[in-house]
Amino acid sequence: MASGVPDACAFCDIVAGRTPATIVASDALTVAFLDLRQFHPGHVLVVPRAHLADVREADEATAAAIIASVARMARAVSAVFPHDGLSVWHSIGPAADQEVPHLHFHVHPRRLGDGLLRVYPSAPAHPDRGTLDEWGAKLRQVLAAVVLFVSMWAAPAAAQRFEAGVQAVAASMPAFDGSDFGAGGRLAWHTDDVLSFEGELNLFPGEYPDNGLAFSRRRVEGLFGLTAGLRFGTLRPFAKFRAGFLDVEEAPRPIACILIFPPPLSCALAAGRTLPAFDLGGGVQVDVTPRTFVRVEAGDRMLKYPGPAIDGSGVRRDEPFYGHGLRFSAGAGVRF
């Protein structure tokens, strides 16, 4: 459960890009950056994007993402900076010297005898086994209650890897003049920090072409595939490959076609046809808040036209053939 965001939080400002920081890694839930204080070179902080006071407020997905990021940072710090070991720690509250009330883990190189951290200022007590077992029983009772509570909302928490969005689309139908304009929706499932599987449906409601004899009253596009891209702060550039269809509905009114074989492509489509479609390109997604984003993309939409036909350039095509056209979309969405 997220804490109420205070009026001023140094780490929220870094996550939002309002305060400069040397960010070394980020994903959908976490950000890692170099601490301004470097007792030994390589001191890194790992924080969640959401404002959480400490680890007790982290849900299962955020906690897992933080520990995964801490492990990656530990390996990276070990590889880059000289050390005789590492300290990884998280402090809660003033008694533990928590300075910023935003959950954070330290990854810090250590040198022998550096005196950086003392675990016990004096010799600790050694309770007997009965006392330890009593404490253990109390902890197990609390943990059982926590597991029951988490099981009630774990499924919605896991759904945070999903996205939904809306977009406006402009596309050309290769072999014909003019552009086609439509709108639709998109669903995406992010399997990890790099790959996402997605599908979208778009409706192009106008007659096409709108500057001549229309052979289609409207078109429905469906595209399904994957994107791949690394996140850099609030930016995620990506490449995409999707396959699907463009359903070309019949002409809004009867059209006259010359009696030749093969027929013009517009006549072959006028009765209605579903065309295989492929979309190859890329784009960029920009986080506006931790749960909202805007996205723009462009690519080559390939449509497989029926043959035999005479294409828009007057060339006879005896076999089905592909046409290439630019496709552009812009939209916004939410994570849930």
Domain ranges of the chain: 10-110, 159-335
Distance separating alpha carbons of residues 328 and 324, to the nearest angstrom: 13
Q: What value, to the nearest 5°, has the Cα angle with vertex 229 and ends 228 and 234?
A: 140
In the chain, the amino acid numbered 286 is V
Lowest mean pLDDT among 43-52, 181-190, 247-256: 247-256
What's the chain's average pLDDT? Answer: 87
What pLDDT is recorded for position 152?
55
Domain 159-335 in the same topology as domain 10-110: no
Query: Which CATH code fits 159-335?
Result: 2.40.160.20
Cα–Cα distance for residue pair 9/157, rounded to 1 Å? 25
Q: Has residue 159 got a pLDDT over 50? A: no
Q: What is the pLDDT of residue 332?
A: 96
Write down the catalytic residue from 40, 43, 104, 190: 104
Element holding 153 (H helix, E strand):
helix 129-158
Q: Which of 55 and 175 is assigned the larger pLDDT?
A: 55
Contacts of 128 (CB under 8 A, 6+ apart): none
- 167 or 133: which leads in pLDDT: 167
pLDDT of 192 over the 80 cut: no
May I ask the CATH class of domain 10-110?
A: alpha beta
- 104 catalytic? Reply is yes
pLDDT of residue 157: 43
Please state the rounded mean pLDDT for residues 206-213. 83
Q: Tens digit of pLDDT for each residue in 67-120?
A: 999 999 899 998 889 999 999 999 998 888 888 999 999 999 999 988 887 766
Peptide bond into 127 cis (omega under 30): no
What is the model's pLDDT at position 245?
Answer: 95
pLDDT > 90? residue 132: no
